[in-house]
Amino acid sequence: MKKLLVIISSILLIIVLLLLSPYNIVHYFTAKDKVTTILTDPNVRLEILDDDSGITGVKYLGSNIYRVETKKSAYVMEIKTDKATHTIDVFEYKQHVKKFDY
């Protein structure tokens, strides 16, 4: 019985650490859906990225930062969500491009 309690406590501790760490494992699995939902509209994609080509890849880097690859270029985006507002900082090749609020 004591071993079972230790095992369950260990599993719960690991789950809590994974959900509270800067590299949120939930964001890792939902990264593509989150970014493509925001950038579905070609006009929004053109405004944010200055690029209307399709998204070819999304990778979660940690701390709400995503690497977004298009056919023309690659971008690093920091997406902060506050209730109904998304604040998106976009960087291309270590150079700040623009900040977009909607």
Provide the β-strand partners of residue 78: 65, 89
Question: Is position 62 within any domain?
Answer: yes
Residue by residue, DSSP assigns 47-102 as: HHHS--SPEEEEEEEETTEEEEEESS-EEEEEEEEETTEEEEEEEETTEEEEEEE-
Both tokens of residue 87? Answer: 């604040």
Question: Is position 6 within any domain?
Answer: no
Question: Is position 12 within any domain?
Answer: no
pLDDT in tens, 68-98: 888 888 889 998 888 888 888 888 765 555 6
Residue 24 is classified by DSSP as -
Q: Provide the residue range defining the domain that includes 54.
A: 23-101
Question: Is position 38 within any domain?
Answer: yes
Question: Is position 73 within any domain?
Answer: yes
Report CA dihedral (18, 24, 28, 29) to the nearest 10 degrees: 60
Domain count, the chain: 1
pLDDT in tens, 18-48: 777 666 667 778 888 888 888 888 888 888 8
